[in-house]
């Protein structure tokens, strides 16, 4: 949707907050760039006997508040600036919900759908080995992201454990339950998104029943958020994934949609049909008449080119960086409220934190306990952001950045500069 450099967008968002906070130039210089960047080029043996080279990255933005946390992305469009931006956003996200992490991110330039299961495992284990110099429960704890899942996390945990000679469950989060994963982790990001829709509606005096919702992205985040919002009484009137987009003014049958997706060998929505539902384009989906728009796919989807045609009354960002700064300004002028990514999709890292704590303690919680703790933290963070936004008369994104950047700046100032 946009060719804007994601790292420049992340820096621009930081600069806005730094200006409003009056950050000292010294601390501003520290926070504006990542602390560590590792680029690796590594070979993987393919099933046909040939060897192919892959490129991957692991970026650590800031470690002042604790070990760094952030997902690993497998996607053909991964590049270093995208990973830098995602790592910076993770720093602010963790600080905003006040968990003791800094931000990191990783990625490999690959289309995982083009690899067999064996090739994917070999790629994962080799990439984990290449970046293992950075990883550890007290140093850097990866998690799933676009193109990766619990099985990929299991391979990473096993690889690091083989290097250490003993099992290290807390080196990764988003693992399967049977090897130390947390109950509630798979649904956590989508659950957090649904809670943010609920809180915005409550603060605006809107009834959830019949609230019309459009969801871009029907992966883990989008499908979970859609299902939970439907349970709350919302009406999902549009949905899309990488292959197809559908509009259904009377409301989509999410069970049928999910069943259709599950029947596909690659889990996509292509080919779905139902009475009253129209097949539309991906760009048209973002401009559907609705109350709530949830971009839960990739970044740079809402730009200056389409922000003026967005009909949603408020946007809850399930993806990282789906809205550009130029689009933000247009939306603000039009009175469209945006719940920013560093708040809206923080449910995943919150429950990843819970998983890490459980792994370190080897004491596991039930799912209700996990969900209750998640709700308390993310709803509390929303209340802080909302209150600050009202007090300073700024958009929610700026309020969220003011809180997050100040916390990270304070930690850096308190620790000082070594040596």
Residues annotated as catalytic (active site), given as ranges? 105
CA distance 18 to 2: 25
143: its two tokens: 């998690």
Q: Residue 18 CB: number of other CB atoms within 10 A?
A: 22
Q: What are phi and psi of 25, to 5 degrees?
A: -55, -35
State the sign of the Cα–Cα–Cα–Cα dihedral 239, 85, 373, 398.
Answer: negative
Sheet (strand 245-247) strand order: 278-280, 245-247, 235-240, 212-216, 292-295, 314-316, 337-339
Which residue, among 410, 407, 387, 414, has the nearest Cα to 399 in the 3D structure? 387
Do residues 342 and 96 lie in contact, with contact meaning Cβ atoms separated by under 8 Å? yes
CA distance 88 to 90: 5
Give 293's contacts (C-beta < 8 A, 6+ positions apart): 213, 214, 216, 286, 310, 312, 314, 315, 316
DSSP structure class, residue 149: -
Burial status of residue 314 (CB atoms within 10 A of its CB: 0-12, 13-18, 19 or more): buried
């Amino acid at each position: 949707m946009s060719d804007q450099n994601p790292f420049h967008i992340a820096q621009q968002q930081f600069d806005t907050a730094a200006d409003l906070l009056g950050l000292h130039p010294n601390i501003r210089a520290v926070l504006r760039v990542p602390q560590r960047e590792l680029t690796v080029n590594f070979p993987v043996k393919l099933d046909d006997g040939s060897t192919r080279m892959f490129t991957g990255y692991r970026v650590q933005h800031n470690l002042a508040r604790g070990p760094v946390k952030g997902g690993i992305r497998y996607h053909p469009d991964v590049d270093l600036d995208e990973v830098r931006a995602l790592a910076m956003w993770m720093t602010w996200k963790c600080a905003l919900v006040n968990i003791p992490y800094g931000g990191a991110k990783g990625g490999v330039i690959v289309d995982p759908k083009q690899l067999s299961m064996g090739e994917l495992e070999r790629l994962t284990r080799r990439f984990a080995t290449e970046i293992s110099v950075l990883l550890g429960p007290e140093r850097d704890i990866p998690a799933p992201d676009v193109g990766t899942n619990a099985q990929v996390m299991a391979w990473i945990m096993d690889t690091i454990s083989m290097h250490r000679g003993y099992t290290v469950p807390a080196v990764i989060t988003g693992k399967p339950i049977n090897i130390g994963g947390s109950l509630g982790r798979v649904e956590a990001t989508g659950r957090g998104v649904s809670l943010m829709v609920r809180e915005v509606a409550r603060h605006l005096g809107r009834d959830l029943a019949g609230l019309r919702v459009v969801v871009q992205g029907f992966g883990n985040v989008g499908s979970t958020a859609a299902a939970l919002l439907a349970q709350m009484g919302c009406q999902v009137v549009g949905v899309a994934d990488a292959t197809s987009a559908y509009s259904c003014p009377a409301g989509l049958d999410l069970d049928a949609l999910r069943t259709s997706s599950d029947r596909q060998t690659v889990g996509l929505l292509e080919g779905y049909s139902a009475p009253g539902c129209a097949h539309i384009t991906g760009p048209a989906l973002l401009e559907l008449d609705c109350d709530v728009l949830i971009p839960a796919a990739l970044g740079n989807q809402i730009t200056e080119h389409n922000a003026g045609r967005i009909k949603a009354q408020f946007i809850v960002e399930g993806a990282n960086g789906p809205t550009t700064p130029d689009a933000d300004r247009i939306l603000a002028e039009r009175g469209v409220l945006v719940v920013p990514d560093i708040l809206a999709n923080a449910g995943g890292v919150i429950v990843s934190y819970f998983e890490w704590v459980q792994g370190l303690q080897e004491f596991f919680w039930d799912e209700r306990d996990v969900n209750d703790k998640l709700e308390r933290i993310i709803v509390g963070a929303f209340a802080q952001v909302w209150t600050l936004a009202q007090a300073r008369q700024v958009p929610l994104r700026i309020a969220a950045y003011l809180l997050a950047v100040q916390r990270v700046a304070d930690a850096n100032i308190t620790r000082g500069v070594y040596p």
